[in-house]
Structure 1
Amino acid sequence: MKLLVDMNLSPRWVGILSEAGIEAAHWSKLGAHNAPDSGIMAFAAANNYMVLTHDLDFSAILAATRGEKPSVVQIRAEDVSPDVISKQVIVALRQMATELEDGALLTIEPNRTRLRVLPLQSRG
């Protein structure tokens, strides 16, 4: 599992994830700070990363493109500091590792975790 940490999350996430045995890189070290989300998604897909973000735009891109990769892990909490929510994120990543490798949208909230398999289907 390789995680690409989005610009809207602290670079400290990389160290926390690495200590947990999860390979991670912060976008600030890989690409332009002002890169569009679609560019970050394309980079992640081409380089076998999953995206860790606090931004709902990534799930919107997956829905609009019916994308199968990359997997996206969204943290939906007011405080996205690794000091506050990293344990919950790491547990969810480990529990859902197989689904994330196959392509999924994982949403982590303070009181629940939800997983949707890619490509996202309309709930018509």
Structure 2
Amino acid sequence: MKVLIDMNLSPAWVGYLQTQGIEAQHWSKIGQSNAADTVIFDWAIAHQAIIFTNDLDFGAILAITQASLPSVFQLKTQDLLPQSVGKIVAQNLKRFEAELQSGALVTIDLERARVRILPIA
């Protein structure tokens, strides 16, 4: 599984996810920090990466475009640091790996996870 970490999340996620056996890159090492969400979206498609974000705009892009890729993994919490929620993120990335590989929008918070298979109807 290859994960692209959005600019709104700390680069510390790269190291944390890698210790969990998950390939990860932070957008700041790939593209411009002010790149439009559509640029990040297109890069993720081209590189078969799952977008890991706190930004709800990616879900909106999926709904509007009726795209079946890329998968988006949204974290909806106040504390976005891996030392606080890393375990829950890694568990859910692995738990929903098959869905994410096929095309899904996965939204998690501290208490639950929601999976929507793409394209979103």
1:16-35 matches, within 5 Å, as 16-35=16-35
Give the match for residue 88 of structure 1: 88
1:66-87 C-alpha deviation (Å, 9 max, x unpaired) = 0100000000001111111110
Partner secondary structure for residue 25 of structure 2: strand
User: In 1, Cα distance between the equivalents of 2:77 and 2:18?
Assistant: 22
User: In 2, Cα distance between the equivalents of 1:78 and 1:19?
Assistant: 23
Letter of the 2:13 counterpart:
W
RMSD, matched Cα: 0.5
* Seq. identity, %: 49
Give the match for residue 67 of structure 2: 67
Note the residue ranges of structure 1 that are not aligned, 5 or more in a row. none
Note the residue ranges of structure 2 that are not aligned, 5 or more in a row. none
**TM-score normalized with structure 2 length:** 0.99
User: In 2, Cα distance between the equivalents of 1:40 and 1:49?
Assistant: 10
Partner secondary structure for residue 73 of structure 1: strand
TM-superposed deviation, 1:99: 0.6
User: In 1, Cα distance between the equivalents of 2:59 and 2:66?
Assistant: 10
**TM-score normalized with structure 1 length:** 0.96
Give the count of matched residue pairs: 121
Runs of 4 or more, structure 1, over 6 Å off, are: none
Letter of the 1:73 counterpart:
F
